[in-house]
Amino acid sequence: MSRSFLVTGGAGFIGSNFIRFVLEHEPDARVTNLDNLSFAGVRATVTELDRYPGHNFVKGDIRDASAIHEVMEGTDVVVNFAAESHVDRSIDSPLTFVETNVFGTTVLIDAAARLGVGCFIQVSTDEVYGSITDGFAGEEARLSPSSPYSASKASADLVVQSYAPTYGYAGIITRCTNNYGPYQFPEKMIPLFVTNLLQGKSVPLYGDGRNERDWLYVEDHCAAIYLLTREGLPGEIYNIGANAQVSNLELTRRLLHSLDLDDSLIDYVEDRPGHDLRYAVDSSKIRSLGWQPAHTIEQGLVETISWYQDRQDWWMPLKQENR
């Protein structure tokens, strides 16, 4: 029997890749893509998704309770990707992040509870754990956010969790590591650096570049979430990581090497406030369900660089609009 999905934030990076993944693996599925087309929501991405018969785009805001109730009715699966997600922007505009990420998520989980939606997935981030000195954070690790962005995501997670004991409605929470791949808005590190280098520009590296991240190819993340729509247990939290930790400096050098360039294009800039040194999660829980990343970081970077080389028609207008 075909399933119906409501995917919020589906004009953005991970959301659009997830919709594509669903419709390629479940061709009979019906996917409603709700996005307000704010800063990182890209109309050209929606146009490409419209090629799938099962895709239906609705322009809307997750903070609009009446609109959410209407669009969610009759839905089998809700996956919430909608979020303000750039740490630097959260430092400049924290209220916007609280309004969207906390209030918007509350609107969604409340509608899902009232309508009895079978599966609700809140897509969160490993940043809620804060900087991990050593080892790997499990799902029960203490929340210790360091920015308004991560604090708003941690708050949203707690709201979702609260609906089980209070209203008897349990959602699933996922906490992923840093994603990269096609269709990522060119303000995030990898697409910004790749597109800058393709344009002959330098790349701005925070501090000394020692900050370490685990890099997860977006298609692998989508596969994990898709698995949870069938196998995930309501009320559970699942970390999703690739165990591909590298420092920002090492990642930058890999990108430079891939394009036959050298370190002279690195522009070391002042570090940002509250910049966590290291993120790392223990994803053994979801791996026990049979998931594992299909891409090594080497494979993923090759595919990502190739995509940005081939799709200047997608990213060049975005960079020109936001100069």
Contact indicator for 160, 173 with CB cutoff of 8 Å = yes
Tell me the catalytic residues. Answer: 126-127, 149
State the first-to-last Cα distance of the chain, in angstroms, to the nearest integer.
47
159: nearest Cα among 71, 69, 66, 80: 80
Q: In this structure, are strands 30-35 and 55-59 parallel, antiparallel, or unpaired?
A: parallel
Distance between CA atoms of residues 120 and 113, nearest Å: 9
